[in-house]
């Protein structure tokens, strides 16, 4: 069931999966950096959020290097980035842990950006979405690739009140940066 207007202000949870990461030999998973494609895609994600008017009031980001780099490159596309909280619980988190993190967000935050990882994020989105516009819900259930962005909207007085099925999945975007063209000499 989707909560209707009158039950509190419109809130948006913007879920961003980190951009494509590299797999350097001998590097622990938590310290894997972005790959070249990820360094192109992360700014494109920031641009996509700005164009769709989905800039957050607060960001909560995994402590993994690839998520932090995604946040830095994405938020670098905005004039003044919002505050960010790095939370280790977002790394390798399942739905219960991600919900706990989201439900701790202060009530004055209307748009929250959560930067993290699969499979947790691709499970969180349909868990919270009671419905989706167009084919958004089916697309997330099929695949939530690197640099994917999902926007969930709901009405509530606090983030602690966010319940399964309470949100409407309004948008799903996969941000991709442009490859640089080689010059012919």
DSSP summary character for residue 32: -
Asked if the structure places residue 91 within a domain, the reply is yes
pLDDT tens column, 14-32: 999 999 999 999 999 999 9
| Cα–Cα distance for residue pair 83/65, rounded to 1 Å | 18
| Token pair belonging to 28 | 């622990």
Asked if the structure places residue 4 within a domain, the reply is no
Asked if the structure places residue 38 within a domain, the reply is yes
| Cα–Cα distance for residue pair 24/31, rounded to 1 Å | 10
Asked whether the predicted pLDDT for residue 99 surpasses 50, the reply is: yes
Asked if the structure places residue 180 within a domain, the reply is no
pLDDT tens column, 116-170: 999 999 999 999 999 999 999 999 999 999 999 999 999 999 999 999 999 999 9
Query: How many independent structural domains does the chain possess?
Result: 1
pLDDT band at 178 (very low <50, low <70, confident <90, very high): confident
Cβ neighbours for 14, distance < 8 A, ≥ 6 positions apart: 49, 54, 56, 111, 112, 113, 114, 149, 150, 151, 152
Asked if the structure places residue 76 within a domain, the reply is yes
Asked if the structure places residue 47 within a domain, the reply is yes
pLDDT tens column, 39-75: 999 999 999 999 999 999 999 999 999 999 999 999 9
Provide the pairing of β-strand 58-61 with 111-116: parallel
Asked if the structure places residue 158 within a domain, the reply is yes
Pick from 33, 13, 30, 43: nearest CA to 147 = 43
Q: Quote the pLDDT of residue 33.
A: 98
- From the centroid of its chain, how far is CA 104? 17
Mean pLDDT, residues 160-182: 89
CATH number (domain holding residue 83): 3.40.50.1240
DSSP summary character for residue 180: P
- What is the percentage of the chain residues whose pLDDT exceeds 90? 90
- With contact defined as beta carbons under 8 Å apart, do 165 and 130 qualify? yes
| Token pair belonging to 23 | 């797999």
Which residue range is the domain that position 89 belongs to? 10-21+28-174
Q: In a 10 Å sphere around its CB, with 0-12 CB exposed, 13-18 middle and 19+ buried, how is residue 143 labelled?
A: exposed
C-alpha distances (whole Å) from 138 to each of 12, 48, 132, 176 are 20, 21, 8, 20
Asked if the structure places residue 68 within a domain, the reply is yes
């Amino acid at each position: 069931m989707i909560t209707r207007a009158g039950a509190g202000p419109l809130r948006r949870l913007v879920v961003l999966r980190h951009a494509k990461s590299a797999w350097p030999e001998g590097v622990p998973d938590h310290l894997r950096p972005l790959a070249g494609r990820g360094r192109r895609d992360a700014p494109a994600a920031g641009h996509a959020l700005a164009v769709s008017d989905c800039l957050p009031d607060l960001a909560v980001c995994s402590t993994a290097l690839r998520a932090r780099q995604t946040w830095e490159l994405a938020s670098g596309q905005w004039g003044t980035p919002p505050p960010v909280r790095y939370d280790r619980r977002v790394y390798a988190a399942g739905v219960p842990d991600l919900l706990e993190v989201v439900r701790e967000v202060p009530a004055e935050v209307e748009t929250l950006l959560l930067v993290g990882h699969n499979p947790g994020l691709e499970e969180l989105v349909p868990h919270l979405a009671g419905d989706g516009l167009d084919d958004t819900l089916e697309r997330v259930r099929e695949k939530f690739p690197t640099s994917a962005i999902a926007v969930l909207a709901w009405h509530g007085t606090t983030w602690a009140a966010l319940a399964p099925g309470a949100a409407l999945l309004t948008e799903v975007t996969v941000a991709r940066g442009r490859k640089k063209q080689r010059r012919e000499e």
